[in-house]
Each structure stands twice: as structure tokens, then as C-alpha cells.
Amino acid sequence: DTAVSQTPKYLVTQMGNDKSIKCEQNLGHDTMYWYKQDSKKFLKIMFSYNNKELIINETVPNRFSPKSPDKAHLNLHINSLELGDSAVYFCASSRTGGGYTFGSGTRLTVV
Amino acid sequence: AQKITQTQPGMFVQEKEAVTLDCTYDTSDPSYGLFWYKQPSSGEMIFLIYQGSYDQQNATEGRYSLNFQKARKSANLVISASQLGDSAMYFCAMREGAYNAGNMLTFGGGTRLMVKP
């Protein structure tokens, strides 16, 4: 019973390609997030959605586009991938009064 | 300015000993939450412990305790009786404000803990 699941776990792709990472949570949480962890392990917020509505949109290239079809899903689409996009991307979810649950991460490698 | 600072990039501890991982934070909001997460080499983020700004007592969860010193704006994690499986990256994080939709976590740079047998 995975609480926050991300697919795929690993993604290797060439520069210039378009790729998507999917995230689903079965916790009934109302807010979902995308975080990026760089090669130095630093974690930075990218986006936050609450009940399918975009709440936080940090300074992220517009090649990154989140999509939330319903409050249990938050996908991340990346256009025209660049070498610098290589990182681990974490999806997370939270609810009022509760904590934050993270997915297991997607390691994206752009070659 | 950094909102969350972890000054120890790496630490060693002998198995069965206690270890303290430092975390200082910066916020002007009277309501906030402090979290610690563990990230083993397998990569997942594991929640360890939480401290709310209005909590009167330090949080404890098994071998983990949080040494919360509000005036100093510090929230150090104490791991008692270290085990080999405690070797991992540890992240301190803060949520500013009461929990509302979209209040995200801000993370420190992490501390890599290595437990020696």
C-alpha cells in the first residue's frame, strides 16, 4: 500500500526530449508538491497544488509544467530536457494538521 | 538568507553512542513547524520527528528526540544508541506559518551521518 507513488523510478533520456513523471497519493491529502534534489543533495520546492489548483510556482523554467487531473494526482512534464535537469525529483503530499509524505523519488539522467 | 542551516556536512559516530545533529532556523512567523527527515542510500525520504513552535515539550519518537531551543532558533536532532542502519543523510526542514494549503517545507542542506562499528 504505497502512500505516495512515483513512476518511473529511473529515467534516462537524451537532451531535447520531452518526458513526464507521474505521482499518485492514496492518503486523501489535499496538497501535493514537486521537489527537486540536486547533485549536492539540496532539496528545493518547485510546485505546490491544492485540490488541483496551483498554489506555489517557484522560479522554475517554463519547460517544466505540472498537471493535476484530480487531487490524488500531480504529474510533472518536462519539455526540451537539458543536462542541468538531471536530478532526483520527489513528489510529496500533505493535509491540514498533518505531516508531509514523500514518494520514493525519480532519478532523471539527461545525456 | 538561509532559512534552515545545518552546519555539519558530515559526521561520524561510534555505534551505540548518542549523536546530535544541528539545525538552526530563521523565521519571523510565530507559528511554524520543524521536521527531520532521514534519507538512506536507497534515496527515499523518511519522516522522523516533528516539533511545533507552540509545543511546550521537546518531541520524542523512539530513539529520536528533538532538542528545541526556541530563543536560540535551534532544533537539534538527537539520536540515542546509534545503529549501523542510522548511516544516512539527515535533513532538517521548516514549514512557516500554521499549516495551510500550499505551505511547503524549506530544507536545510543536510548532514551525512556515518555510524562506525
Q: Which three cell numbers stand for residue A80?
A: 526540451
**Per-residue pLDDT, A16:** 97
Segment B72-94, tens digit of pLDDT: 999 999 999 999 999 999 999 99
Top residue of B104, B105, B111, B113 to mutate, by most chain A CBs within 10 Å, is B104
Alpha-carbon span B43 to A98, nearest angstrom: 23
Q: What is the nearest CA distance from A36 to chain B, expressed in angstroms? A: 11
Q: Which residues pair with A55 in a beta bridge?
A: none
Residue, of A66 and A99, whose pLDDT is higher: A66
SS3 A72: coil
| Helices within A1-111 (DSSP H only) | none
Q: What is the nearest CA distance from B103 to chain A, expressed in angstroms? A: 8
Contacts of B61 (CB under 8 A, 6+ apart): B48, B49
- Chain B residues close to A98, C-beta within 8 Å: 99
Q: Which of B101, B67, B115 is nearest to A52 (CA)?
A: B101
Weakly modelled stretches of chain B, pLDDT under 50: none
Q: Which of A50, A26, A49, A21 is nearest to A36 (CA)?
A: A21
Alpha-carbon span B35 to B47, nearest angstrom: 8
Confidence tier at A99 by pLDDT (50, 70, 90):
confident
**Per-residue pLDDT, B52:** 92
Alpha-carbon span A29 to A74, nearest angstrom: 12
Give the helix/strand (H/E) hosting A70.
Answer: strand A64-70
Percent with pLDDT over 70 in chain B: 96
Segment A8-57, tens digit of pLDDT: 999 999 999 999 999 999 999 989 999 999 999 999 999 998 888 888 77
